[in-house]
Amino acid sequence: MEAAGSLKAADRIEGLSASFGRASDAAGGVAVEDYVIGGSRVSLRFASGALRERLTPAFAHLVAPPSGRSETPELTVHLWDSASTGAEPPPRPGTPADEPAGALYHFDEPPLRGAYQPGLEALSILDSEAGVAWYWVANAFAQPSWDQACPIRQILFWWLGSRGYLQVHGAAVGTPTAGVLVVGPAGSGKSTVALACLGSDLLYAGDDYVAVTLEPAPHVASLYSSGKLEPSHVHGLLPHLLPLLANRDRLDSEKAILYVDQHFPQQTTSGFPLAAVLVPTVRTARREPQIVPASRAAAFAALGPSTMFQLHTAGAGELATLRSLVARLPCYSLELGSEPSAIPGAISGLLSML
């Protein structure tokens, strides 16, 4: 939903800076964590120890090398919460008292772009000209695990778009020289495919959100080392992952969360070239998985609608990029059987053929 703009850019920035400054004072300073995302340096400035503790595991595989500390980041994000710091909240868009669950209010007032999610009490704002962003939540302790697993996603979507990358709703696994983008709506099996590859020779770039670029050739960039899966799928298909879950005591109310870098650091990656699009389909009568050619129309139907819905603020340009991506890569259907341990071998076989 579009949020009515009532503040000038300078007033918004002043309010954000004031709130962050108060949080920084309360926290005794700012903790800086630098990462390399999509080949560019991103600096996260935390004025909340609670938020830092909860959000940094998702980026652990992308930590910038120490030698680059003096480099100027392409994006600087200020992160804080009010509950742990006592800082007054920054100005937020006005919302109706009866807003629907999951509502997102968006404003686009160049150079600022922002999104407010009242259900999460989370505010994301990017200044595209300055390469500066702000991320505030009311209470770091109340953030759901699934949101902690993919932090500052809206900010990264806007910023990566200016650098030739599009955030997509998909998984990616592969080798240093070639990989597959696994696409489909929620529940289609893409997370099962990606997490079934843990412990194999394949690299893991993500299971829910990754970024892709088309030029000079299709390539995927990892955003998060976190994996998310329905608890029933972990119990039924990947029970060996149960002891590794970050929230195994809350599976009655949350998706299972696994931070891959903590348990399979040798399999995390910053990205790799893309060789194919893979659409998983469940075939309960089958035991071994099988990969067969799929139409580009079927691949786009699996990728386009779910990505556009997940991105919230995407438009015609992003949709055109998704069409171009599918047109540039061969497309296949991965017919999933009852034996997930055979999935890595099937994907490796496809990559060796390509």
pLDDT of 152 reads 98
pLDDT of 104 reads 86
Which of 171, 19, 142 has the alpha carbon at shortest distance from 90? 19
What's the pLDDT tens digit per position in 105-116? 899 989 999 999
Q: Bridge-partner residues for 168, per DSSP? A: 210
More confident residue, 339 or 183: 183
Q: Is the pLDDT of residue 278 over 80?
A: yes
What's the pLDDT tens digit per position in 38-85? 999 999 999 999 999 999 999 999 999 886 556 789 999 999 999 999
Structure tokens given for 253: 């109310």
What's the pLDDT tens digit per position in 285-297? 778 899 999 999 9
More confident residue, 94 or 9: 9
pLDDT of 3 reads 52
Peptide bond into 330 cis (omega under 30): no
Q: Where are the alpha helices (DSSP H) in 28-172?
A: 49-55, 145-148, 153-161
Q: Domains along the chain?
A: 9-161 (no CATH), 166-353 (3.40.50)
State the chain's mean pLDDT as an integer: 92
pLDDT of 4 reads 45
What's the pLDDT tens digit per position in 134-181? 999 999 999 999 999 999 999 999 999 999 999 999 999 999 999 999
What share of the chain has pLDDT > 90, as a percent? 77
Rg (CA), the chain: 20
pLDDT of 282 reads 80
Q: Bridge-partner residues for 76, per DSSP? A: 43, 132
180/165 Cα distance (integer angstroms): 17
Structure tokens given for 13: 């920035």
Q: Is the dihedral of CA 246, 249, 250, 252 positive or negative?
A: positive
pTM over 0.85: yes
Q: Which amino acid is at 81?
A: D
Peptide bond into 273 cis (omega under 30): no
Q: What is the DSSP code string of 271-339?
A: EEEEEEEEEEEE-TT-SS-EEEE--HHHHHHHHHHHHHHHHSS--HHHHHHHHHHHHHS-EEEEEE-S-
Name residue, tokens 């809350």: 250
Interacting residues of 78 by C-beta distance below 8 A, sequence separation 6+? 16, 20, 45, 47, 132, 133, 134, 135
Query: 63-77, 198-212, 335-349: lowest mean pLDDT where?
Result: 63-77
pLDDT of 288 reads 87
Structure tokens given for 143: 């953030």
What's the pLDDT tens digit per position in 115-132? 999 989 999 999 999 999
